[in-house]
Chains A and B, each alone.
Chain A
Amino acid sequence: MAASAVTARTPHGRARLIALGHATKPIREATGMARAMLWSGAAITLFFIVLGVFAQWISPYGFGQYESGGVRFPQLAHPSAKHLMGTTVQSSDVMARVIWGAQTELKVVAIALVMSLSVGVPLGLISGYFGGVLDRALVLVMDALFAFPYLLLAIVIAFLLSNSSIGAGVFTAAIAITAAYVPLYFRVVRNHVISVREEPYVDAARALGARPRTVIRKYVFFNVVQNVPPIATLNAADAILLLAALGFLGYGIQPTQGAEWGYDVSRAVSDAASGIWWTGLFPGLAIVLLVTGLTLLGEGLNETLNPVLRRRRFGTIEFNALPEEVVPYE
């Protein structure tokens, strides 16, 4: 194709492009349910990402805005033309808080994902590849952390950090979530590395004298990393639930720092008992939708990438001509 002709000057570059093509092939070949899930999940997730990134422009009001043009918003008002989803007990607009809430959720989850991936994946790679005492020790620590109910771990970490310079807020919540998920990434990556490490081609590379760093980089990493996207999206889904739970229990982000759906639902509990349904329903539905979107995306990815479940569309099977260098027998 045109693209490969332009960029793939070297055999190396060409090989990279082909590898990329291989990696995304399952997604392009996805069919039926898997495809529907993948794309609907992606659509929902994208919708919320857009909401979050462009909150400033999409939202009619700020998340803490309580007046407009000198006139205060009514308190706990029914959904109306001016306030499509009603207002809260602090006279804030519910829809504004839902939209800005998307930004908060995305910020926290993005930071948490980046942090847990950058800690969990390398640790898993190293531990799985080198084994030995380090591996045993790390496995013990991670298993211990795993046995700890993650909600409680997150709460305790939220305490710990609330006094430091970071203070409460987005970063604290993200770190609390990271602490809960690093063991999972570690475990998954490590297990995969262990199974890949015994593969003949890795053995061959080692026998040829390749340094561990090269082996990991060239052979193991790509193999293992294919596992990560579905887990990462499912983890993002979980992370949002965890953040909402923290907010519900009062350990998340305070309303003056930003809008957070879980906190809004916790305040809405007392409203609901008094017949005020809009303060809780909309943030709650937002959580359900975003997590559903991420889960569908994750499941879709899993279905398409996991060879056990993968269903291929049957097309024509082509046999590529063998490159000249590898003609078997002359």
Chain B
Amino acid sequence: MTGTSLRTYLITRLALVVPMVFILLTLVFLLMRVAPGNPIEASLGGHVPQAAIRQIERRLGFDKPLYDQYGDYLWNILRGNLGRTITDNRPLSQIIEQNGAATLELTFFAMLVAIVVGVVIGLLAGRHRDTWLDVGGRLFGVFVYATPVFFLGLMAQLVFGVWLGWLPISDQASPITQALLQTHTNIFFIDAIWDRNWAALWDIVQHLILPATTLGLVTAGVFIRLIRVNVIRTLRDDYIEAARARGIVERRVVFHHAFKNALVPVITIVGLNMATLLGGAVLTEETFNWPGIGHELYLYLQDRDYTAVQGIIIVFALVVVAVSLLVDFINAFVDPRIRY
């Protein structure tokens, strides 16, 4: 009985993904076409004669009717061909591989920081509700949430990079390290380990510290709040009372029973924050000169490079959808009440 309803749930959720993605694709297409300016004028306006610009636009098919362009667009995506960017002739797949990998590296370590900081403070705050620990933890959570990531990043750069001089403030690695690094996965951290290039690894780790910590701290605020609420809710539950009544030591009650259950939503929170993290990554990437996909998107948006923007947003959205799907499945598996 449980098996079939889980399966039905899976299928229903998967089926719903298709129209949702379709809506997203259409939305992206329309928004880009409706926005004023086009990529050709963006690159050539101001120094190339108008006649030449029109000629180029015609050649690239920008004067075809909208539904024609839409049809081409959908057809290409179905074949998995995200195309090449208009402005610098770069294959979308390369952008996703190289820049996507950089963003992945950043968001992975940021998420790690967020989880560690958030969980530890959230657990402590929830456990010792209304004590100074709680107050301090919550205030901390509110402050890091309220601080815009670019402001926190700027302060971090100033303090740790400029005044104390401890850490680098931009890029994934020093210029020469980066020039010499062999590419295997495009994730610098892994590539350095692959080649057992420990000097490079150390350089890369140093470059990761400020951006990952900044982004992680800002995200931790959300974690602190939610985990704390969950700890409080769990500690009130009947089975906790029951455990206490059975005479189990308080510490074991807290750690073994309450915390474990309070942490279950961490997966959900991670999933829900995927979109936030990808959005926040743009700001962090701009601040720290991190060559991620958010930064590329920002540049291509400025240039109205339709193909690039569409391709990147689709990938973004698919990642978010995939992660939330995964999160829903795990939740449905764990908690039968959630099924459709």
Contact = CB atoms under 8 A, between A and B. Distances in A.
A and B touch in the complex (CB under 8 A): yes
Given A144-B27, A245-B283, A295-B146, A272 B154 contact: yes
Contact of B142 (A152, A241, A249, A295): A295
Interface of A: 32-33, 37, 140-141, 143-152, 155-157, 159-160, 162-163, 237, 241, 244-245, 248-249, 262, 265-266, 268-269, 272-273, 277, 280, 284, 287-292, 295-296, 299, 308-309
Contact of A245 (B134, B147, B148, B229): B148
A299 B35 contact: no
The main secondary structure of chain A at its interface with chain B is helix
Contacts of A273: 162
A143 B20 contact: yes
A265 B151 contact: yes
A285 to B, nearest CB: 8
B266 interface: no
B321 interface: yes
Among B16, B143, B151, max chain A CB count under 10 A is at B151
B6 interface: no
Given A33-B134, A152-B297, A241 B148 contact: yes
Contact of B143 (A37, A147, A150, A292): A292
Contacts of A266: 150
A275 B83 CA distance: 45
A226 B287 CA distance: 39
B181 interface: no
Contacts of A289: 146
Contact of B317 (A148, A249, A268, A288): A148
B36 A248 contact: no
Nearest to B287: A269
Given A155-B301, A156-B31, A288 B151 contact: yes
- Name the interface size band of chain B: 35 or more
B34 interface: yes
B151 A152 contact: no
A37 B31 CA distance: 41
B130 A288 contact: no
Interface stretch (B238-246, B253-261, B274-282): B274-282
B130 A33 contact: yes
Contacts of B146: 237, 241, 287-292, 295
Contacts of B23: 140-141, 144
B150 A245 contact: yes
A160 B225 contact: no
A147 B147 contact: no
Nearest to B319: A147
B158 interface: yes
B134 A284 contact: no
A218 to B, nearest CB: 30
A288 B155 CA distance: 13
15 contacts: A144-B23, A144-B27, A147-B321, A148-B313, A149-B279, A151-B282, A152-B279, A159-B35, A245-B148, A249-B282, A284-B154, A287-B146, A292-B143, A295-B142, A299-B225
Contact of A284 (B24, B31, B148, B276): B148
Interface of B: 16, 19-21, 23-24, 27, 31-32, 34-37, 129-130, 134-135, 138, 142-143, 145-148, 150-151, 154-155, 157-158, 162, 225, 229, 232-233, 275-276, 278-280, 282-283, 286-287, 297-298, 301, 313, 316-317, 320-321, 324
Contacts of A159: 35-37, 301
A273 to B, nearest CB: 7
A102 to B, nearest CB: 15
B278 to A, nearest CB: 5
Given A32-B130, A262-B148, A265-B148, A152 B162 contact: no
A148 B321 CA distance: 10
Nearest to B169: A273
Contacts of A33: 129-130, 134-135, 138
Contacts of A160: 31, 34-36
B34 to A, nearest CB: 6
Nearest to B321: A147
A157 B16 CA distance: 26
Contacts of A248: 148, 150, 283, 286
A207 to B, nearest CB: 27
A262 B149 CA distance: 11
B16 A140 contact: yes
Given A140-B16, A144-B27, A295-B145, 9 more contacts: A144-B24, A147-B320, A160-B34, A249-B286, A262-B148, A284-B148, A284-B154, A288-B151, A290-B146
A148 B27 contact: yes
A187 to B, nearest CB: 12
Nearest to B150: A248
Among A155, A237, A268, A288, max chain B CB count under 10 A is at A288
A268 B36 CA distance: 29
Contacts of B313: 148, 152
Contacts of B34: 160
A198 B218 CA distance: 39
A70 to B, nearest CB: 36
A245 B286 CA distance: 11
A244 B146 CA distance: 11
A241 B144 CA distance: 12
B241 to A, nearest CB: 16
A304 B34 CA distance: 45
Contacts of B150: 245, 248, 265-266, 269
